[in-house]
Structure 1
Amino acid sequence: MKFTSFAIPAALCVLGTAAFAQDAAEEMPATVADIVMESEDHTTLETAVVEAEMGEALMGEGPFTVFAPTDAAFEALPDGALEEALMPENRDRLVQILGCHVVETRALAADVVQMIEDDGGSHPVTTMGNCELNLTLDGDMVKINDTVTVTTADLEAGNGVVHVIDGVLLPAM
């Protein structure tokens, strides 16, 4: 009798803990790669990530901050530039271009604004693609290299954050 009175509550505790762990796993935020791949406005970026074989890396532990250009941003590139970058023989260049959009830290918009203000109005950032970005404020909008604007900020993921941008960041030639 003593064993039964102990075994039933113990079993219920184990089952309850297992159910809680399963619920927590189901609520885990998406990765930065998942955010991009689930977005209707980032199909070109998704294609580029797949072609560059970077999806697995962006599903990794991170943390990452991804500046995600929209399909419209890619459409604004010069004629043929995107098609050329997506060619298999240009994979290294594509990886570098995509790397210009990823920083190995988690930086929410408030953090970025604070860094810009702390640095006197301009904050330099080096990306995974070894691109040098210059972050500034134009009113309440974050600008990158004076030409690209963060249009939607703080799409949070379990391994970082995505900021939607209206231009494609290219490495220096």
Structure 2
Amino acid sequence: MKNQNLPSWMKQLTGFAGVIGATALIGFPAWAHINSNTTVANATQTQQVAGNVKTAASPAPTAAAKDIVAIASGDAQFKMLTKALGSAGLVTTLQGKGPFTVFAPTDAAFAALPKGTLEDLLKPANKAKLTKILTYHVVPGSVLSTSLKSGDVKSVEGSSLKVAVSTGKVTVGGANVVKADIKASNGVIHVIDKVLMPPDVK
């Protein structure tokens, strides 16, 4: 009844407002549904991306899979060492559980020996002598460079090796450690630039 007393322009405005209100009520649920889906999709994508980044940035750590002999035989700078280990019959020993720390001379170190020395050591008749020399390069346990300290360490051969540690330099028996901490499944290798000789070997 009250609407009949309203001016015609107010009736039109009221009707127009009612149409807008109805449209908003009808349209809002649809808009909310779309927006909700978009938010969920974005959240899912964010989680997937975050998961992928985490996986790529944090790979699972892996242990060294190769033993000392496998590493030495696969490295071009240890051809003579690998040959000498075979001649001395130490391959099986250094493939064992260990652990061992090996101060490994390079081919250049073997080449620096007096002429004919290596050829003579590789003869079957000198197997005991060669074994003595090679086991002088091995220390029981897995000793990383961070654990090396100046002093004497007993080799597998039985004689002691003199280790000297100073800033940025480590020497063993007078040989320079040119590369440290090559980790193997049964120990560690430190590369040296000289063939070590036990005190009683000439």
Query: Which TM-score band applies after superposition, normalised by the shorter structure?
Result: 0.7 to 0.9
The alignment partner of 2:189 has SS state of: strand
In structure 2, C-alpha distance between the alignment counterparts of 1:61 and 1:88, rounded to whole Å: 27
Match of residue 87 from structure 2: 51
Q: What is the CA-CA distance between 1:160 and the residue it aligns to?
A: 0.2
Q: TM-score, normalised by structure 1?
A: 0.77
Contact 2:63-2:185 within 8 A present in 1 as well: no
The alignment partner of 1:171 has SS state of: coil
Paired AA for residue 197 in structure 2: L
Matched, 1:125 2:153: yes
Cα shift readout 1:11-56 (whole Å, capped 9, x = no counterpart): xxxxxxxxxxxxxxx9652111111111100000000000011101
Contact 1:29-1:156 within 8 A present in 2 as well: no
In structure 2, C-alpha distance between the alignment counterparts of 1:132 and 1:28, rounded to whole Å: 28
Q: What is the CA-CA distance between 1:138 and the residue it aligns to?
A: 4.0
In structure 2, C-alpha distance between the alignment counterparts of 1:105 and 1:47, rounded to whole Å: 24
Larger helix proportion of the pair: 2
| CA distance 1:153–1:34, change in 2 (3 Å) | same
1:3-82 matched pairs, under 5 angstroms: 29-82=65-118
In structure 2, C-alpha distance between the alignment counterparts of 1:39 and 1:53, rounded to whole Å: 20
In structure 1, C-alpha distance between the alignment counterparts of 2:69 and 2:92, rounded to whole Å: 8
Larger Rg: 1 or 2? Answer: 2
In structure 2, C-alpha distance between the alignment counterparts of 1:46 and 1:28, rounded to whole Å: 19
In structure 2, C-alpha distance between the alignment counterparts of 1:156 and 1:108, rounded to whole Å: 9
Matched, 1:151 2:187: no
Matched, 1:89 2:125: yes
Contact 2:64-2:183 within 8 A present in 1 as well: no
Residue 136 of structure 1, aligned match among 151, 160, 164: 164
The alignment partner of 1:94 has SS state of: helix
Matched, 1:168 2:195: yes
Paired AA for residue 79 in structure 1: K
- Aligned-residue CA RMSD in angstroms? 1.4
The alignment partner of 1:30 has SS state of: coil
Q: What is the CA-CA distance between 1:131 and the residue it aligns to?
A: 2.4
| CA distance 1:63–1:27, change in 2 (3 Å) | closer
Higher RCO (C-alpha under 8 Å, 6+ residues apart): 1
In structure 2, C-alpha distance between the alignment counterparts of 1:141 and 1:27, rounded to whole Å: 27
- Structure 2 residue runs without a partner (length 5+): 1-61
- Structure 1 residue runs without a partner (length 5+): 1-25, 117-121
| CA distance 1:28–1:75, change in 2 (3 Å) | closer
Identity among equivalent positions (%) equals 38
Cα shift readout 1:126-171 (whole Å, capped 9, x = no counterpart): 11111210100243111112x2000000000110000000000111
